[in-house]
Chains A and B, each alone.
Chain A
Amino acid sequence: MPEQEVAISVKDLEKTFGGLKVLEDIDLDIYHGETFVIMGGSGSGKSTLLRIMTGGIKPDAGHVYFSGREISKLNDDEKESVKRRFGMSFQSAALLDSLTVEENISLPLREHTNLTPNVISIIAKMKLNLVGLQGFESYMPSMLSGGMRKRVGLARAIAMDPQIVFYDEPTAGLDPVMCAVIDKLILDLTKKLNLTSIVVTHNMESVFRVADRVAMLYQGKLLEVGTKQQIKNSKNEIVQQFIKGEIEGPIQLS
């Protein structure tokens, strides 16, 4: 079981976009060292929740606490130091096209540390090694496959040795084998680097492979939170329909 020390905590969160309530009454405690999966259909608000946790979007109401401090109340310098303890892997990998693989991974180190270029290069190679892409340092992102780009994105996310890594749809658009590779990487990195991982996905295989605990979001509300076994055995019809991917059921398709 994961330790019960809270890594990030969300209280009474609300967010509205153009009159449409995207998130409502969200309460979550995510514990240090666990892999927490937020699942839900398209438009359920899961990516918005992730971005509120990383400080990218401001909530309309409610609070996000990291290390006991409320993120939205920090000034710019404090927010910057909090962000340095976060890593984020994007759905599209979001590597900078104009930089090589190594330069992409080095970028946060060059920006935030006083390390010499040689040391930065060694760290970048180490991180690349961790995601199994040694030898690709000088490649441009456009020369890599989708799976490789995601892994480079992952290497960049862990470049600054973060405490929490956020994954936005880490397996979207990948073949089943590559999905399994990415899932294994998420688990390995979480264990090896003693991280907290927060994964947003709607890939059910991934959910049950990586999760310690799972939260199901539906129409902006938290439907259920529990271990993956609890979610699997859930009595909630919406959760069951979502897990099984059935067309018939209570989920309203829009």
Chain B
Amino acid sequence: MMQIFEHIGSAITRWFRVFVDFSSLFTQTIYWVIMSPIKKKPLHLQIVSDQMVFMGIQSVVIVFFVMFFTGIVLAMQSAPQLIQMGGLIYVSSLVTISICRELGPVLTALVIAGRVGAAITAEIGSMKVNEQVEALDTMAINPIRYLVVPKLIALFIMLPCLTVIGDASGLLGGYIIGVHNLKINSGLYIQTALKFLTLKDIYTGLSKSFIFAIIITMVGAYQGFKTRGGAVGVGRATTVSVVTSFILIIVADAIMTGIYYFSGY
């Protein structure tokens, strides 16, 4: 019996520790985002722009393919049901709203968590095991300011951009099936889509992607700084980083959808 309590106790302590460490990393990152210009510390614009190219521009193709085929699948899956109800035309609005409100932001974030989150952890993790993080610290260069802040800024800008591209790709996939396969008139397809799509659908979707950008960067960085034990450690940290990001993205999505739902959005 005592053993059970001990296990529960040590698990709670461990999780509390993770929470405290993660919060500390997050607050320090936000501190440096705000304080870098005030303390006249250089913001490494070159690193920010390099990261924007890596995280954003080089992810466009993969985001396009994932969302394009999701749009296609969504249209094909919904068509038979809607035909039975005599509402084939609503394929258009179903695809549009589900992509803009939900699937665009979430799937794009998941793709980027796999691609970019893993890269952040692997980079910081291998720097940690090769003493490079310690080297920054002994040169009086804050590793969080040098390594995490540029990545957070870059992804905070690029993930919403990628989400817009992802939304557009998904809508294109749905449109192609709707018009060419289901033979819905092109003008009517677009008209129905726009009739049900409101600006609110787009910005609730986009607002999620800002939160997802923070989750991906912070989880990636946290796991990177926690890395121990050489190449095996880097591999393990990268896996944990991607899995944690996936879970947190889905949980955050549910929470935000709940907030919008219950507040009438």
Q: Using a CB–CB distance below 8 Å, which chain A residues touch chain B?
A: 54, 56, 79-81, 83-84, 86, 88, 90-92, 94-97, 107-108, 110-112, 156, 160
Contacts and interface: CB of A to CB of B under 8 A. Distances in A.
A96 B132 contact: yes
A91 B141 contact: no
B139 A83 contact: yes
A186 to B, nearest CB: 17
Nearest to A159: B139
B30 to A, nearest CB: 16
A160 B138 CA distance: 12
Name which of A88, A94, A97 has the most chain B CB atoms within 10 A of its CB. A94
Given A54-B138, A83-B138, A84-B140, A110 B131 contact: no
Contacts, number: 48
A56 B138 contact: yes
Given A110-B42, A111-B42, A92 B138 contact: no
Contacts of B132: 94-97
Interface in B125-155: 127, 130-132, 134-141
A111 B139 contact: yes
10 contacts: A56-B134, A56-B138, A81-B140, A83-B137, A96-B127, A96-B132, A97-B132, A107-B139, A111-B41, A111-B141
Closest A-B pairs by Cβ, 8 of them: A94-B135, A83-B140, A94-B131, A88-B138, A80-B140, A108-B139, A90-B131, A94-B132
A221 B127 CA distance: 31
A77 to B, nearest CB: 9
Nearest to A80: B140
Contacts of B138: 54, 56, 83, 86, 88
Nearest to A86: B138
Given A94-B131, A97-B132, A108-B140, 6 more contacts: A56-B138, A79-B140, A94-B135, A108-B141, A111-B41, A111-B141
B131 A91 contact: yes
A112 B131 CA distance: 21
Contacts of B136: 96
Contacts of B127: 96-97
A94 to B, nearest CB: 4
A86 B137 CA distance: 11
A201 B141 CA distance: 26
A83 B42 CA distance: 18
Name which of B41, B132, B140, B141 has the most chain A CB atoms within 10 A of its CB. B140
A88 B139 CA distance: 8
Interface in B39-58: 41-42
A34 B139 CA distance: 22
Contacts of A56: 134, 137-138
Interface string B113-132: 00000000000000100111
